[in-house]
Structure 1
Amino acid sequence: MRQAPVTNAFTIDVEDYFQVSAFAPHIPRSEWELRECRVERNVERILDMLRRRKVHATFFTLGWIAQRYPHLVQAIVAGGHELASHGWDHQRASDLTPQAFFEDVRRAKALLEDLGGVPVLGYRAPSFSIGRANPWAFDELERAGYRYSSSVYPIVHDHYGMPEAPRFAFDATTRGFMEVPPTTLRLLSRNLPCSGGGYFRLLPYGVSRRMLRHVNEAERQSAIFYFHPWEIDPDQPRVDGVGAKARFRHYLNLQRMESRLERLLADFHWGRMDRIFLGTGSLNA
């Protein structure tokens, strides 16, 4: 008997190209207002892609973006997508005190709920910056009214990662607050990333597809896929002074990303984080 397809979570971290952590040494927050914003057109393209494919997704949205583009928040909700939080202005959770982190995530949640008119239940830390050094972040998220996070990446990475963390959803507080890690494939005693971002642009599409299929078919687990609006924008302004590694990671294969996303949407079954992991409504709605 053929098994029903596993529903995976299609997620977007709504931030602009100049807000990524790798560019922070080159673009202070005080200069963000001076930069050409391209997030509006890129999110609109993503919404159109999802509409054509009849897919509902989760948009982890910065408060800074929502404040300046409230119509994007409203378009996300109107499209049937989940509105979730990416914090206020892309400060890494690991750089904040518990109280400062609480204020950041509470402020973002309040604005998103005010603009979107829906509860905001999910959070993703900028640069997956929750790990072994700051487990208190889960308590602060729960205190702020969130119900789940997708912020612990169980891999080895030079900027983030907690390879010993569970690969799939787990209770992070013993009180039911859920952490849903980005997806990895276990191979030779090591977790390999297969959940999107720069890895999806680096690897041939067929490799990413095989990895995700293994998670779905062999492990019968829902995968978490993520990307950023700037990743479908090969014409974005180049940032001066960026090192070779950061430049490679950021700009690699931007021109191929949109077509790969189209293939991915066609090859797998997708839904919203809240409906898959919290059971808030029909997976097919």
Structure 2
Amino acid sequence: MNAADIISRPRFALSVDVEDYFQVWAFSGVVSRASWDGFSSRVGDNTRRCLDLFDKHNAKATFFTLGWVAERDPELIRDIVARGHELASHGYDHTKVTEQTRDQFFADVTKTKTLLEDLSGVEVKGYRAAGFSIGKATPWAHETLAQAGHRYSSSSHPIAHDHYGDAAAAQSPHEIAGMIEAPVATVNFLGKRFSAAGGGWFRAAPLALSKALLSKASKTLNGPVIFYFHPWEIDPGQPRLTRAPLKSRLRHYLNLNRMEGKLSKTLSAYSWGRIDEALGLS
């Protein structure tokens, strides 16, 4: 690998976790997977809005897509690829890795990778675990992903959080079990670690702070600055799930009406590319 190849890689890598509003982990206690087909799906329309927004800003992205969604909207999968984006796996039905045995995990990632590749006609290199659920409790996960044919994972959010993360984990991409783990973006400041990765953190923070964190991450991380969000985050008109716990509802619905505008400004501020290209795997 030469220096020119490294320099040409995207510094900022954009990613989208393609799941519907009723499939998020925070609502799993009140919405069973068996009931999903009873909901009116909005993920297709919202993801297509993301595609249009990316076209407007000349941005490319990696779409970590649920197999469940792909089965029900194969044209969406083909549209993602046709517009020049990377198609990657988010597992079949958003089950955390920590809730699966190694054999169950292998079956899940193999099923989803095969499904996405059959629908799209392209290799699926990347994987992102539901709820960033690969870590100390799943020491076999990366080896299993490699066995299934994946070349990288972006399943680590190395911060202190009540549902995921390890504030002592590596912040930059690193090799493990024959593949690459590429964490989403974090920065260190005054002895503490902060997320610069998007999602709910991005919706909660002032735009100026989010951009400052992204810029700091670009100077300190040894690898791409990986940002993520979900299609439902640009959909303030989505139905409200009032049965969910208050904390989950506050997190999920916070600033949905501002998200698309903030996202558009962030897309304009940096040059965004695909994760596989940023890692030199394209």
Q: TM-score range by the shorter chain?
A: over 0.9
Q: Distance in 1 between matches of 2:115 and 2:66?
A: 10
Tell whether the 8 Å contact from 1:184 to 1:191 is kept in structure 2 after alignment.
yes
Tell whether the 8 Å contact from 1:5 to 1:269 is kept in structure 2 after alignment.
no
Q: Distance in 1 between matches of 2:201 and 2:252?
A: 11
Structure 2 CA distance for partners of 1:216 and 1:160, relative to 1, 3 Å:
same
- Which secondary structure state, in structure 2, belongs to the residue aligned with residue 111 of structure 1? helix
- Which secondary structure state, in structure 1, belongs to the residue aligned with residue 228 of structure 2? strand
1:241 maps onto 2:246 in alignment: no
Q: CA deviation at 1:36?
A: 1.1
Equivalent runs, 1:136-151 vs 2, <5 Å: 136-151=140-155
Give the corresponding residue for 1:48: 52
Q: Which of 192, 207, 210 is the matching residue for 1:208?
A: 210
Structure 2 CA distance for partners of 1:114 and 1:5, relative to 1, 3 Å:
closer
- Which secondary structure state, in structure 2, belongs to the residue aligned with residue 80 of structure 1? coil
| Amino acid in structure 2 at the alignment position of 1:187 | F
Q: Which of 186, 189, 198 is the matching residue for 2:188?
A: 186
Tell whether the 8 Å contact from 2:171 to 2:221 is kept in structure 1 after alignment.
no
Q: CA deviation at 1:189?
A: 2.5
| Amino acid in structure 1 at the alignment position of 2:32 | P
1:263 maps onto 2:271 in alignment: no
Q: Distance in 2 between matches of 1:164 and 1:217?
A: 20
| Amino acid in structure 2 at the alignment position of 1:157 | H
Q: Distance in 1 between matches of 2:277 and 2:28?
A: 34
Q: CA deviation at 1:241?
A: 1.4
| Amino acid in structure 1 at the alignment position of 2:28 | A
| Amino acid in structure 2 at the alignment position of 1:213 | S
- Which secondary structure state, in structure 1, belongs to the residue aligned with residue 123 of structure 2? coil
Q: Deviations over 1:213-235 (max 9, x none)?
A: 11213556421000000000000
1:38 maps onto 2:32 in alignment: no
1:67 maps onto 2:62 in alignment: no
Q: CA deviation at 1:13?
A: 0.1
Q: TM-score, normalised by structure 2?
A: 0.95
Q: Distance in 1 between matches of 2:242 and 2:203?
A: 22
Give the corresponding residue for 1:16: 20
Equivalent runs, 1:216-227 vs 2, <5 Å: 216-217=218-219, 219=221, 221-227=223-229
Of 211-220 and 158-167, deviating more is: 211-220
Equivalent runs, 1:112-151 vs 2, <5 Å: 112-151=116-155
Q: TM-score, normalised by structure 1?
A: 0.94
Give the corresponding residue for 1:283: none
| Amino acid in structure 2 at the alignment position of 1:185 | V
Instruction: Could you tell me which runs of 5 or more consecutive residues in structure 2 were left unpaired when the two chains were aligned.
Output: 1-6
Tell whether the 8 Å contact from 1:6 to 1:269 is kept in structure 2 after alignment.
yes
Give the corresponding residue for 1:107: 111
Give the corresponding residue for 2:3: none
- Which secondary structure state, in structure 2, belongs to the residue aligned with residue 278 of structure 1? coil
- Which secondary structure state, in structure 1, belongs to the residue aligned with residue 37 of structure 2? helix
- Which secondary structure state, in structure 1, belongs to the residue aligned with residue 145 of structure 2? helix
Q: Distance in 2 between matches of 1:4 and 1:220?
A: 15
Tell whether the 8 Å contact from 2:17 to 2:231 is kept in structure 1 after alignment.
yes
Q: Deviations over 1:183-228 (max 9, x none)?
A: 1011233221110000000000100000111121355642100000
| Amino acid in structure 1 at the alignment position of 2:267 | L
| Amino acid in structure 1 at the alignment position of 2:77 | V
RMSD: 1.4
- Which secondary structure state, in structure 2, belongs to the residue aligned with residue 9 of structure 1? strand
- Taking every aligned residue pair, what percent have the same amino acid on both sides? 47
Q: Distance in 1 between matches of 2:155 and 2:18?
A: 15
Q: Distance in 1 between matches of 2:217 and 2:196?
A: 9
Q: Which of 234, 240, 248 is the matching residue for 1:232?
A: 234
Q: Which of 65, 68, 79 is the matching residue for 2:83?
A: 79
Tell whether the 8 Å contact from 1:9 to 1:273 is kept in structure 2 after alignment.
yes
Q: CA deviation at 1:4?
A: 9.0
| Amino acid in structure 2 at the alignment position of 1:209 | K
Tell whether the 8 Å contact from 2:91 to 2:108 is kept in structure 1 after alignment.
yes
Please list every run of at least 4 consecutive aligned residues from structure 1 whose deviation after the TM superposition is greater than 3 angstroms: 3-6, 217-221
